[in-house]
């Protein structure tokens, strides 16, 4: 992470509105660097038409019905065990995953040297101490006139938890980069 990227071999939890936008930015960056990327779409909300990523270089797994959280977790576990991806985005369905499953995925991410981004709904972290980094993402809409096309929103990112962090941190990311 010294170069400003995501921590390799760690579970990173993203929560709040804008988490998918931040994850898609990570996908674009990894694809630009030639790293293989996988996305596990637990809730079934991934929209290829608006993703703005190279879909031919993205392994997209949709484990079935959103209520089958165990299938979503199993798919992520199997992809991590393959050790074939530089980034795995795990979009979790609603509900709290078992903490043991979060620790197992974090351990597998470490073995695979894969950055694991877990997208969770709601405003409370779900991965607990299994996550090396927990970020709350919020869309920051710019002011615009009713007759104008609104600009892409910026993202306000707050660090809720980071191993070894001394204090709270917050950063605003522009929509362009």
Would you give per-residue pLDDT tens digits along the chain (177 residues)? Answer: 435 678 999 999 999 988 998 999 999 999 999 999 999 999 988 988 888 899 999 999 998 776 678 899 999 999 999 999 999 999 998 888 899 999 999 999 999 999 999 999 888 899 989 999 999 998 876 666 677 666 667 888 888 888 766 555 655 555 444
3-state secondary structure of 172: strand
Provide the 10 A C-beta neighbour count for residue 149: 6
Global pTM?
0.86
- Is residue 142 within 8 A of residue 122, CB to CB? The reply is no
* Residue 56 burial class via C-beta count within 10 angstroms: exposed 0-12, middle 13-18, buried 19 and up: exposed
31-53 burial code (b ≥16 CB/10 A, e <16): beeeebbbbbbbbeebeeeebeb
Q: Walk me through the domains of the chain, giving residue ranges and CATH numbers.
A: 11-137+158-168 (3.40.50.300)
């Amino acid at each position: 992470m010294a170069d400003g990227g995501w921590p390799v071999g760690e579970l990173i939890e993203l929560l709040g509105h804008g988490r998918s936008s931040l994850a898609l930015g990570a996908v674009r960056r990894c694809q630009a660097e030639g790293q293989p990327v996988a996305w596990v779409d637990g809730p079934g909300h991934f929209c290829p038409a608006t993703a703005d990523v190279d879909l031919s270089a993205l392994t997209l797994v949709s484990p079935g019905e959103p209520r089958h959280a165990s299938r979503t977790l199993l798919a992520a576990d199997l992809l991590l065990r393959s050790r074939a991806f530089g980034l795995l985005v795990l979009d979790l369905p609603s509900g709290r995953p078992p903490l043991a499953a979060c620790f197992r995925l974090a351990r597998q991410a470490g073995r695979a040297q894969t950055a694991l981004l877990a997208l969770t709904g709601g405003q409370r972290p779900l991965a607990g101490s299994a996550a090396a980094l927990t970020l709350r993402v919020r869309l920051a809409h710019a002011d615009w006139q009713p007759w104008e096309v609104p600009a892409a929103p910026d993202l306000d990112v707050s660090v809720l938890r980071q191993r070894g962090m001394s204090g709270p941190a917050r950063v605003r990311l522009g929509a362009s980069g």
